[in-house]
Amino acid sequence: MDTTGRRRGRTALIVAVAAVLGVVGGTAVGYGIQAQREPTPLPALNQADLRYPAPLPKGHKAKPLSAAEDRRVRTEGDLRKLLLPRPAGTKSAGSEFGDGWMSAPGYASYFEEPGGALAYQLENGIRRIAAVSWRTGKYRTTEIRLVQFRSTTVHGAREHAADQQGYMPGDEYARSEGEPLAGSGNGRFYVFPVEKKAGYLDLYEARAYAHRGDIMLEIFMYDTKKISPKDIKSVAERQLRRL
């Protein structure tokens, strides 16, 4: 299996926290190479059961979509506005994207082989990444990233989400098929088994991956106490509703 896209482990934030807490651990998550997949057959063109909307009455014109209804208007604007707002009373937990943006090279630096990861994402048409993070209580950390892709012959958002999800069942730490996210036909969330090491605080982790249109969503949650499935599920589904 090609490992150029495997994540290096905990984010820079958790590495910093681990240095204080003495937490040791790593997560190997990444994406496979699209060329290694079998091509997906296209549906037949002669679909007899297609239905078309009835024509408008004479003299009536189609009403244009409002900005709230037209998803393209929203996703072409400031992507940061689609992120869940940081909860009141919390502070950013990641100085590397304090302004809400991550660069493509910065995003790729979270993987074991940043050069290969960046090349793969550029090939898939990565466009921009909006991010937000916060810390709740002493150690609970939440990170959300919206990774947007350009319109190309490759559906970058779908491929990236599928690749991340594909690694979860066999991942050293996740070992999970995940659970579906409501409001999404493709999203899933994962609650990792606790990571224990003698002399160190326990480390808990949860994740969520999904895509909607040209945006891939990923959420990371860390704590030294158990993370309830409803916690990661709630954050992920609320974020999905904003896309």
| 190-209: pLDDT as tens digits | 999 999 989 999 999 999 99
Give the span between the Cα atoms of 216 and 234, in whole angstroms.
17
C-alpha to C-alpha distances, 203 to 139, 167, 179, 215, nearest whole angstrom: 10, 20, 21, 29
Q: Mean pLDDT check: name the lowest of 1-5, 78-82, 89-93, 197-201.
A: 1-5
When pLDDT is cut at 50, 70 and 90, the band that residue 16 belongs to is very low
Give the domain ranges of the chain: 12-29+88-240
Q: For residue 147, what pLDDT is reported? A: 97
With a CB cutoff of 8 Å and minimum separation 6, the contacts of 217 are: 144, 145, 146, 147, 161, 187, 208, 209, 210, 211, 236, 239, 240, 243
Kindly report, residue by residue over 95-154, the tens digit of the pLDDT: 666 689 999 999 999 887 899 999 999 999 999 999 999 999 889 999 999 999 998 888
Average pLDDT over residues 49-58: 63
